[in-house]
Amino acid sequence: MKPARKSQQVHTDTPWLMPVLSRGKHRTARSGGCFMEFASYLAGESWSDHPACTHPTLASLARMVNDCTTDKARSRLTGLIPSVIGLNGDDPRIKLLVALRAATAALPVANGERQRGLAVGILSCERQLTLTGGTDPGTDVMIRTAFSQAPDTLKWAHEFIESFGNWSHTKFTEREAESVLRVAVQGIAEACIDNPDERLFDLLSGAIDDVARAIPVATTVEAVTEWRMPVLR
């Protein structure tokens, strides 16, 4: 085995290997861990799937993608773990951007019942983003592309929203963001498409990029090109 680099500040006689990602919450890393648990380890925090190093909504998406990705494909997610460290802040747009990314990714492939809920979620996120500074061209394209692949849902969502009257002042809460994420991730995982794992990976990767752009200065760790986790006995 190659000795660990000095910059990693570890004992050179410690055996190392890539982390084994698995579903659910784990008390320790001895039997593996989920995406966010390994993020907490890399960030130097206590072992947890809810570390302070990552925005709660992005962390929630990462946990869901981790759990809904198949065992065969889950290891690919390890390359994204370092990129979520330091992505946190109090910008109200972050939960909107993550939820919008998830809803637009799932809308074209989810079943009919889920599509309706996702369509309402997209319009809700879009409206709230407008109230908090507006959408950008990339976001607008993402919304248009999603609805172009499920056009009937747009009309239904508008009619549903209008039935509630003065909906424009309704806040988009963390609980609502969590609901959108759950419907979206499960919708992709259970969709009748060739490679849902690929779509889930792209969803998480895209959400990470969205949050990184929304945070002017992120507290990030040094990039690790050959990072490994210790063998725990």
Question: What's the whole-model pTM score?
Answer: 0.82
Overall average pLDDT of the 156-167 stretch = 81
Q: What is the pLDDT of residue 19?
A: 63
pLDDT band for position 32 (cuts 50, 70, 90)? confident
Q: What is the pLDDT of residue 166?
A: 61
- Residue type for position 212: A
Q: By three-state DSSP, how is residue 157 classified?
A: helix
Q: What backbone phi and psi angles, to 5 degrees, belong to 16?
A: -130, 155
Overall average pLDDT of the 109-127 stretch = 95
- The continuous run of DSSP H or E covering 16 comes out as strand 16-17
Q: Kind of pairing, strands 16-17 and 229-230?
A: antiparallel
How far is Cα of residue 192 from the mean position of the Cα atoms in its chain? 21
Tokens of residue 96, six digits: 């909107």
Name residues whose C-beta falls within 8 Å of residue 225's C-beta, 6 or more positions apart in sequence: none
* 8 Å CB contact between 56 and 50: yes
Residue 1: pLDDT over 90: no
